[in-house]
């Protein structure tokens, strides 16, 4: 029987970016069906945007991100980033690809890399269209789809599902009712997938 994982993540989360490939590789190795849910920080469950944290905690967060980026082999541009618009609309491209039965993982990977490694403004529709075009996808088609009812409805429903599932930060993985928060918890998720339920 195919195992399944509900995958809650945010394009605007550097932790989602850092752990993305490690998770998708783990899923492929363990024959896991992934259901993606895209949203932003669920504040009503205790999630906190990094901009709202004390500076001393933000400084530690930055150091920890850099350490994990090196472990995961990711280039992470945190300093000297230009003024960028909200990356949230890029989530609609990923949702559209998922609903179309396309390679949503490839679309998410391209957009996250552009935002976190290259500091490109994926909040702008022309920028994200160009990014996904360069990655081999039809950016114009995804741009047209982002306003469609099914895409907008999934975006709204994803947030409610995250809230009701107890999600507060990203990435979060849910398997067999067990919640794992953070890409550093992937070893525990894998143990669970192999039968060692906590």
Give residue 52's pLDDT.
67
CB 70 within 8 A of CB 192: no
**Catalytic annotation, residues:** 13
Reported pTM: 0.93
CB-count burial class (<10 Å; 0-12, 13-18, 19+) for 123 = middle
Place of tokens 């060692």: 196
Q: What is the pLDDT of residues 173-190, one digit of tens each?
A: 999 999 999 999 999 999
CB-count burial class (<10 Å; 0-12, 13-18, 19+) for 182 = middle
Give residue 79's pLDDT.
86
Q: What is the pLDDT of residues 34-78, one digit of tens each?
A: 999 999 887 787 677 777 677 888 888 899 999 999 999 999 998
CB 36 within 8 A of CB 9: yes
Domains of the chain and CATH, by start = 4-194 (3.40.30.10)
What is the token pair recorded at 23? Answer: 């998770």
Give residue 1's pLDDT.
65
Higher pLDDT, 123 or 49: 123
CB-count burial class (<10 Å; 0-12, 13-18, 19+) for 162 = buried
Q: What is the pLDDT of residues 66-78, one digit of tens each?
A: 999 999 999 999 8
CB 169 within 8 A of CB 183: no
């Amino acid at each position: 029987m195919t195992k399944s994982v509900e995958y809650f993540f945010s394009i605007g989360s550097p932790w989602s970016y850092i752990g993305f490939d490690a998770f998708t590789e783990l899923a492929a190795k363990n024959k896991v069906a992934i259901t993606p849910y895209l949203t932003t920080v669920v504040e009503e469950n205790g999630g906190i945007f990094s901009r709202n944290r004390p500076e001393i905690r933000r400084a530690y967060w930055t150091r920890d991100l850099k350490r994990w980026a090196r472990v995961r082999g990711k280039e992470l541009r945190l300093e000297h980033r230009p003024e960028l618009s909200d990356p949230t609309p890029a989530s609609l491209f990923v949702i559209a690809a998922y609903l179309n039965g396309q390679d949503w993982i490839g679309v998410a990977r391209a957009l996250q890399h552009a935002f976190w490694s290259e500091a490109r403004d994926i909040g702008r529709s022309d920028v994200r269209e160009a990014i996904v075009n360069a990655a081999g996808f039809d950016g114009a088609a995804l741009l047209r789809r982002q306003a469609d009812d099914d895409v907008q409805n999934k975006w709204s429903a994803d947030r409610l599902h995250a809230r009701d599932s107890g999600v507060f930060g990203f990435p979060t993985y849910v398997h067999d009712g067990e919640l794992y928060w953070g890409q550093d918890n992937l070893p525990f998720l894998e143990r669970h997938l192999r039968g060692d339920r906590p």
